[in-house]
Amino acid sequence: MKLAYWMYAGPAHIGTLRIASSFKNVHAIMHAPLGDDYFNVMRSMLERKRDFTAVTASVVDRHVLARGSQEKVVNNISRKDKEEKPDLVVLTPTCTSSILQEDLQNFVNRASIETQADVLLADVNHYRVNEMQAADRTLEQIVQFYIKKAKKKKELDTTKTLEPSVNIIGSFNLAFHNQHDIAELKRLMSDLNIKINSIIPEGASVQELKNLPKAWFNIVPYREIGLLTAEYLKDEFDMPFIDTTPMGVVETANCIRKIQYILNQNNLDVNFEKYIDIQTRFVSQSAWFSRSIDCQNLTGKKAIVFGDSTHAVAMTKILTREMGIHVVWAGTYCKYDKSWFQKEVGDLCDEIVITDDHNLIGDLIAKVEPAVIFGTQMERHVAKRLNIPCGVISAPVHIQNFPLSYRPFLGYEGANQIADLIYNSFTLGMEDHLLEIFGGHDTKEVLSAGLSIDSKDSQIEWNLESQAELVKIPGFIRGKIKRNTEKFAQEQKMETITLEVMYAAKEAAS
């Protein structure tokens, strides 16, 4: 057992559900107790989705515990098949099914005899993998299934497209600024004259998966989800893939050079150096910004970085190589990705921290007292408590990390956004600091005597209970309530304010 208050990565089934519900016309059925469909709330709230999330539960209750869930699962699958006519139903195990040890595969086999839809059992174990690993695996599983199916039906066409083309593996729901990132990647590809063959899984239909091998190569922008699929396609069809995250101007250039290399290998004579140069110098502002005087002031400032491996690595690289900021330590909660992380940023920071214990992270932040933090929502709150500015660069995320306006982290526009994020974090911190020094902050005490009416000559008294009650009222309206109550008491010619008077005043005012 482990005492835990907060976790960075969710349970495995969340990963599977994210993949399944990203595809078009795929329905996921969770084998879970009532209440585990909280995923639907998250998707509907955070992403403000207009459509019903295609996730339902085959509910595990007492009855199921006693008798097994065989009939129920099979019935639920065929019911969904009729109601929604999905292309694919993904049966999703949860922590509960992990310990019930029912033969879910058998249910899937039985159900798929009757259904029009394909039926798959997500191959994830709650106790072995987390959200990201499960998502990675589920995506690979679905891709593999449809490639094999096409092969069997002899519908697999592996001839390459005439013009250079790419698959983008890495668009999904509930991911950090993902929609904007994908839009930016599309723009980059079109600048480079590369056609998009497929973008998976968000918005893709499973029918188009058999066309994946037609692309010249694959891009996996985030290493948490998509690498397994890219590796599978490489093994199976010898498709090269690029796993360099185009985040920051340097890495974006590296990514483009890798694309150039692949195209050259395919006897296409392209040279993107000019493009990179123009983008870096004129289109993106961030390279020039690093040169400007403002940014000089950031030199050597202390920062710490924490997040998933993709974003934490990219951010560390940007801070050190593009802005001259001193990263005291960089870390990730993707523990399984430790060696890659070390390899990427080992030289760019003083220390590396690999942990999923937020308490440890909090302590380490307090110890270092950096000028700025780049982390997840959890670090944002630690930062608040310690009065250190913080930029959020990675999941886990809140609703404010799903902005309506265009905010990519990838590509040249992404570099601009990140530069703003970094700079704003620092100046805010600086301003705050100056204000402190010159005593410029507003007083936080709202309940000052002068605010209540005629406080000096007022005869009105608050008895103990009403005082206690008053203190419970949130600070920002307390003053108003105090004034209203006193006014009310005065009008009623009362001398002591009791609880009764308070509530009567509230009623009179409403």
Number of residues binding to another protein, judged by CB under 8 A:
59
Q: Minimal distance in Å, beta carbon 55 to another protein?
A: 9
Give 57 or 262: the residue with its C-beta nearer to ligand SF4.
57
The closest alpha carbon to 488, from 473, 506, 472, belongs to 506
- The option from another protein, ligand SF4, none interacting with 481 (CB < 5 to 8 A, set by class) reads none
Region from 5-13, 33-41, 169-177, 236-244 binding ligand SF4, contact rule CB under 6 A? 33-41
Residue whose C-alpha is closest to residue 312's, from 274, 280, 338, 278? 338
Whole-angstrom distance, CA of residue 36 vs CA of residue 94: 9
Binding mask 92-131 for ligand SF4 (x = CB under 6 A): ---xx-----------------------------------
Binding mask 392-421 for another protein (x = CB under 8 A): ------x-----------------------
CA-based R_g, the chain, Å: 28
- Nearest CA to 69 out of 37, 40, 111 is that of 111
Distance CA 31, CA 77 (A): 11
Smallest distance from another protein to CB 6, Å: 6
**Binder of another protein out of 57, 312, 345, 395 (CB under 8 A):** 57
Gap between the Cα atoms of 135 and 112, Å rounded = 23
**Can residue 99 be called a binding residue for another protein (CB under 8 A)?**
yes
- Does position 35 interact with ligand SF4 (CB under 6 A)? The reply is yes
Shortest CB 16 distance to another protein, Å: 13
Phi and psi torsions of 442, nearest 5° = -65, 150
Give CA–CA dist 222/459, Å, rounded.
67
- What are the DSSP calls for 275-328, one per residue? HHHHIIIII-SHHHHHHSHHHHTTTT-EEEEEESHHHHHHHHHIIIIIH--EEE
Is 315 assigned a ligand-binding role in the annotation? no
Amino acid found at 360: L
Q: How many C-beta atoms surround the C-beta of residue 399 within 10 A?
A: 11
Minimal distance in Å, beta carbon 96 to ligand SF4? 6
Catalytic residues, by residue number, are 294
Residues forming the site for ligand SF4 (CB under 6 A) = 33, 35-36, 95-96
Residues forming the site for another protein (CB under 8 A) = 1-7, 10-11, 13-14, 32-38, 40-42, 44-45, 48-53, 56-57, 59-62, 65, 83, 94-96, 99-100, 126-127, 130, 378, 381, 384, 398, 465, 469, 472, 498-500, 503, 506-507, 510
